[in-house]
């Protein structure tokens, strides 16, 4: 099933988390289902996507994304062709992107070549939703995606400069915001510049402070509260804006 049918009544959502990195996956899935929290569980390699799909399948409030993390390309080059074999059949793609941090800079050209091919291939379809990593490579990520991508782009945990942020906003990308971003002044400055209609929420569990040990849907509730305070908007209104953004993302 490619498309979700969203219930317009109260619900939570999380557009970027790593379910497969937890041991108590069954418990987390039950929590997702009980809270009716629409969740995109990203993966970092195709074999991890296959394992998750084979074990859990697609469920009412859970979708798995096909991933090829830039930090793992050099270590797992044999996974690259497997990713492209599956790409046509997956609507949700992530985690993908570029990472030019000091530990990954030597694989820069492999990353660029692979990401360019991903964007070109995804652009042949109209329904792809991409969750994109861009640490220390924001300009290159935006250059490669461009302003006319035939799908939906989510810049996950954006941490770049304001110039590239403005470019991404003009290109109508979405931005997924987590609690760690809101805990720093720089992160809050970034969030304050993003238009309300471009904001989505993520936990990036288990990589954020309050999700390292356990995943709890209340993290999302607290995130909405903190985001409403920063944007100086009533929480109920903020929640409705976020739900509207998520619904449009899926169309």
Sign of the dihedral through C-alpha 85, 91, 94, 96: positive
Annotation-wise, does 20 bind a ligand? Answer: no
Cβ-contact 68, 94 below 8 angstroms: no
Beta bridge partners of 64: 41
Cβ-contact 153, 117 below 8 angstroms: no
CA distance 22 to 34: 18
Other beta carbons within 10 angstroms of residue 167's beta carbon come to 16
Annotation-wise, does 148 bind a ligand? Answer: no
DSSP conformation class of 77: T
Give the H/E segment covering residue 154: strand 152-156
Annotation-wise, does 204 bind a ligand? Answer: yes
Annotation-wise, does 236 bind a ligand? Answer: no
Annotation-wise, does 16 bind a ligand? Answer: yes
Sign of the dihedral through C-alpha 73, 77, 81, 82: negative
Give the residue numbers of the binding site.
16, 18, 95, 133, 156, 204
Give the residue numbers of the binding site for a divalent metal cation.
16, 18, 95, 133, 156, 204
């Amino acid at each position: 099933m490619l498309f979700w049918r969203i219930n317009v009544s109260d619900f939570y959502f999380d557009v970027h988390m790593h379910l497969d990195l937890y041991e108590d996956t069954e418990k987390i899935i039950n929590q997702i289902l009980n809270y009716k929290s629409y969740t995109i569980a990203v993966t970092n390699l195709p074999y991890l996507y296959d394992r998750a799909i084979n074990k859990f399948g697609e469920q009412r409030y859970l979708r798995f994304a096909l991933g090829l993390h830039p930090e793992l390309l050099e270590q797992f080059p044999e996974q690259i062709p497997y990713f492209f074999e599956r790409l046509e059949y997956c609507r949700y793609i992530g985690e993908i992107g570029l990472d030019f941090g000091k530990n990954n800079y030597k694989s820069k050209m492999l990353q660029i070549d692979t990401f360019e091919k991903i964007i070109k291939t995804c652009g042949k379809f109209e329904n792809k939703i991409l969750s994109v990593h861009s640490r220390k490579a924001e300009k290159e990520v935006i250059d490669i995606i461009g302003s006319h991508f035939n799908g939906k782009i989510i810049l996950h945990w954006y941490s770049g400069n304001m110039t590239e942020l403005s470019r991404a906003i003009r290109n109508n990308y979405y931005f997924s915001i987590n609690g760690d971003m809101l805990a720093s002044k720089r992160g809050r400055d970034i969030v304050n510049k993003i238009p309300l209609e471009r904001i989505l929420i993520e936990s990036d569990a288990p990589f954020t402070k309050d999700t390292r040990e356990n995943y709890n849907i209340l993290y999302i509730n607290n995130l909405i509260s903190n985001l409403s305070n920063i944007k100086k908007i009533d929480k109920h209104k903020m929640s409705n804006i976020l739900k509207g953004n998520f619904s449009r993302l899926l169309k």
